[in-house]
Structure 1
Amino acid sequence: MSSAKRALLTDYPICIELDTRWMDNDIYGHVNNVVYYSYFDTIVNRYLIEKAELDIHAGDIIGLIVNSHCNYHTSISFPDKLMGGLKVTRIGSSSVDYSLGIFKHGQELACAEGQMTHVFVNRADRRPRPISGTLLTALSKALK
């Protein structure tokens, strides 16, 4: 586990409730490290679908993760209730950097913190496309 300074829930302008699942626990009795990346992906994509109106099934623009990282501070396990924190740290012409935190419900210190980079591309040719319109507006609201 990391001894680095831990983020606070208040560091994130967007907070989303998450549930652990029985299958998230590994043989050691805590949520397996790879599951945190699933939580991160869920937080980001739920926000993009609900607030940026990203059409993940038929839209022309999709987001591809090109970079991700996670620091683990303290364990979580099923049946913990969680809060996921999201903030945008940079908006480029076709890419965006996110900072994410996983918190036990009711606690202010992050159990884990991560970073991810999305590049927005055309679904058909996978070429980068500019961030604009509703997507840009939603990402800007999460910028901190």
Structure 2
Amino acid sequence: MNPPQHLRGDYRHFQPITTRWHDNDIYGHVNNVTYYSYFDSAVNAYLIAEGGLDIHAGEVVGFVVSSSCDYFASIAFPDAIEVGLRVGKLGNSSVQYELAIFRAGEEQACAAGRFVHVFVERTSNRPVAIPDALRAALASLLSA
């Protein structure tokens, strides 16, 4: 059985990321845990720019409650990369993101992952409905 293809055309938004010298591990490639920081940065940059998320003073914040990543090819500093982003599922208070790491200009992903945000009221940490502006931004990323 062939693994699923993760192609650039499958994603709705792309966030460029600059790899850093300290992202490489002793084996000379970006360490696996660093991919999760790329995913988190891409999602939050999108939510701030497109959904109006106020990470400092907003009443609602997103908590990551689940995540995974599959690796297909190594990347290393100083690779220029882009994180492809789409939404696989949009619920009342949660969203599942589907993400992929691409070397700039390449069609095939080097890694693909997913994570789930649950939106909560900052003061109580209790789930709340996704605010309208965030919901609209997320809905525009729904995969076909």
Range class of TM-score, shorter chain: over 0.9
The aligned counterpart of 2:130 is 131
Q: Secondary structure at the match of 1:4?
A: coil
2:67 is aligned with 1:100: no
Q: Secondary structure at the match of 2:102?
A: strand
The aligned counterpart of 1:38 is 37
TM-score, with structure 1 as normaliser: 0.96
Runs (4 or more) in structure 1 with deviation over 6 Å come to: none
Q: What per-residue deviation string (whole Å, max 9, x for no partner) do you get for residues 88-141 of structure 1?
A: 011111000000000001110000000000000000000000013101100001
5+ long unaligned stretches in structure 1: none
Bigger shift: residues 128-137 or 69-78: 128-137
Percent pairwise identity = 51
The aligned counterpart of 1:12 is 11
Matches within 5 A, 1:39-118: 39-118=38-117
Instruction: Quote the Cα distance in structure 1 between the aligned partners of 2:12 and 2:129.
Output: 24
**Shift of the alpha carbon at 1:5?**
2.5
Figure out how many residues of one structure are paired with residues of the other and give that number: 142
Counterpart of 1:19, as a letter, is T
Counterpart of 1:57, as a letter, is H
Q: What per-residue deviation string (whole Å, max 9, x for no partner) do you get for residues 23-62 of structure 1?
A: 0000000000000000000110000000000000000000
**Aligned partners of 1:6 and 1:73 also within 8 Å:** no
Counterpart of 1:68, as a letter, is S
Instruction: Quote the Cα distance in structure 2 between the aligned partners of 1:90 and 1:100.
Output: 13
Counterpart of 2:69, as a letter, is C
Instruction: Quote the Cα distance in structure 1 between the aligned partners of 2:19 and 2:70.
Output: 18
Instruction: Quote the Cα distance in structure 2 between the aligned partners of 1:103 and 1:6.
Output: 13
CA-based RMSD: 0.8
TM-score, with structure 2 as normaliser: 0.96
